[in-house]
Amino acid sequence: MKILELSLFNFRNYEEEHFLPKAGVNILLGENAQGKTNLLEAIFLCCLGRSHRTPRERELIRYDQPLASVLLRCEKGDVTRSIRVSLSQEQRRRVFLDSLPVQNIGELMGQLNCVLFAPEHLSIVKQGPSERRRFIDMEISQTYPSYFYALQQYAHILRQRNNLLKAIADDPSLLKTLSAWDEQMAKTAAFLIRQRRLFLEKLSELARRNHFEISGQKEGLLLRYEPNLEDEEPASILNALESGRKRDLRLLSSQIGPHRDDFALILDGRDLRAFGSQGQQRTAALALKLSELDLIYQETGEWPILMLDDVLSELDSARQGFLLERVLPVQTFLTTALPVEKMQGAFLFLVENGHVQPG
């Protein structure tokens, strides 16, 4: 996949800007607060329909403006597509694919795949489970839109079920309606658990290889799925929900289900979440990111767009070299505040106060 053009209108600190990236590595060089991450955020928005930085869409609109939009033209195989996201102070964002309005954001999934690597991802190993769940969810959704729909559905069921648990506390006669939600929850949960298991098995194999290449160490990296519910059968999930019902009613929220899942990164038998040194955690995070890239390629036959936001300076030169070698076949957007050494196949753009120009 390749981005041919990115146009921004009143997006963050960009008034009107047309950026024509190159097929290889696009180095976006600029001082702090000039708009480098904003540019990546605009790309991310076109890939996944939301910002990677904020759930509040209005923050994306240039201060004091009513509207903003991002228009992206990209190439997938030999097909050219356009994705437009319109933002307004008044309504929810609207997305257009080849000028046609997208009804459910799931339709956008897989149109333009991306992998974003920012300094905060270096700590994914030691962050809380919700960050790791977000990672898995985003990744599977991009290669498998039905997963995204199931995820939306699960979130809806969970909300309804939690509301109902609270309502039952006031009106016990509502208890009889809980089973219907349990059944739906069990079905959707079963699907999510199965997909996560399959995904983590594939990712684990790629991560093991990448980790070996980066570290040169014989010790193996392994990803281990830690589902909150072991079972993948709707019937046994339903049983578990029924057994946990008393507790749910007491705590007024759903205590079990894939919304409580996690996965562990295990190096040489040790859980890196608890026992890894910072160096080991970072190497594992880098291996994980590269595996994300590999897996999208493996599943779709196309390299996703890679965005590296200020990560080079966080890595030692051996890891930097490894990373830059791996990105060669991939259209890459690399932001940096410090000039980087001349790289083969790289193009320099200068980012200054909401403008991007060839350097």
Ligand X SMILES: Nc1ncnc2c1ncn2[C@@H]1O[C@H](COP(=O)(O)OP(=O)(O)O)[C@@H](O)[C@H]1O
Name the residues that contact ligand X, by CB under 6 A: 12-13, 30, 32-38, 59, 61-63
Residue of 37, 111, 113, 143 that binds Mg ion (CB under 5 A)? 37
DSSP 61: B
> Shortest approach of ligand X to residue 62 CB, angstroms?
4
C-alpha span between 352 and 105 (Å, rounded):
32
Residue 62's binding partner out of ligand X, Mg ion, none, with CB under 5 to 8 Å set by partner kind: ligand X
Contact between residue 106 and residue 145 where contact means Cβ atoms under 8 Å apart: yes
Beta strands in the chain (DSSP E): 2-11, 14-19, 25-29, 67-76, 79-88, 94-97, 100-101, 114-117, 221-226, 262-267, 270-271, 305-309, 332-336, 346-352, 355-358
Question: Closest approach of Cβ 120 to Mg ion, in Å?
Answer: 11
If one asks whether residue 336 binds Mg ion (CB under 5 A), the answer comes out as no
Least distance from C-beta 335 to ligand X, angstroms?
6
DSSP 3-state assignment of 91? coil
Q: What's the closest the beta carbon of residue 305 comes to ligand X, in angstroms?
A: 17
Task: Specify the residue, 63 or 274, whose C-beta has the smaller distance to ligand X.
Answer: 63
Q: What residues contact 282, with CB distance under 8 A and at least 6 apart?
A: 122, 314, 315, 319
Cα–Cα distance for residue pair 281/276, rounded to 1 Å: 6
DSSP state of 299: H
Task: Tell me the pairing of strands 67-76 and 355-358.
Answer: unpaired
352 binds, options Mg ion, ligand X, none, Cβ within 5 to 8 A by partner type: none
318 binds, among Mg ion, ligand X, none (CB under 5 to 8 A by kind): none
106 binds, among ligand X, Mg ion, none (CB under 5 to 8 A by kind): none
Among ligand X, Mg ion, none, residue 35 binds (CB under 5-8 Å by kind): ligand X
Instruction: From the list ligand X, Mg ion, none, pick the one residue 10 interacts with, judged by a Cβ distance below 5 to 8 Å according to partner type.
Output: none
Question: At 236, which amino acid appears?
Answer: S
Q: Is 51 near Mg ion (CB under 5 A)?
A: no
User: Are the beta carbons of 44 and 115 closer than 8 angstroms?
Assistant: no
Q: Are 10 and 68 in contact (CB under 8 A)?
A: yes
Tokens coding 279: 């160096």
End-to-end CA distance of the chain: 24
Range in contact with Mg ion (rule: CB under 5 A) among 20-28, 36-44, 143-151, 202-210 = 36-44
Q: Closest distance between ligand X and the C-beta of residue 59, in Å?
A: 6
* Cβ contact 334:312 at 8 Å: yes
Contact window for Mg ion (CB under 5 A) among 34-42, 70-78, 98-106, 181-189: 34-42
Residue 232 C-beta: closest distance to ligand X, Å:
42
Residue (50 or 196) nearer to Mg ion, CB = 50
Complex with ligand X: residue 7 or 283, whichever CB lies closer = 7
**Residue at 279: amino acid letter:** G
Among candidates 111, 75, 70, which has minimal Cα distance to 3? Answer: 75
Cβ 229 to ligand X shortest distance, Å? 40
Q: Under the criterion CB under 5 A, does residue 254 sit at the interface with Mg ion?
A: no
| Binding positions for Mg ion, rule: CB under 5 A | 36-37
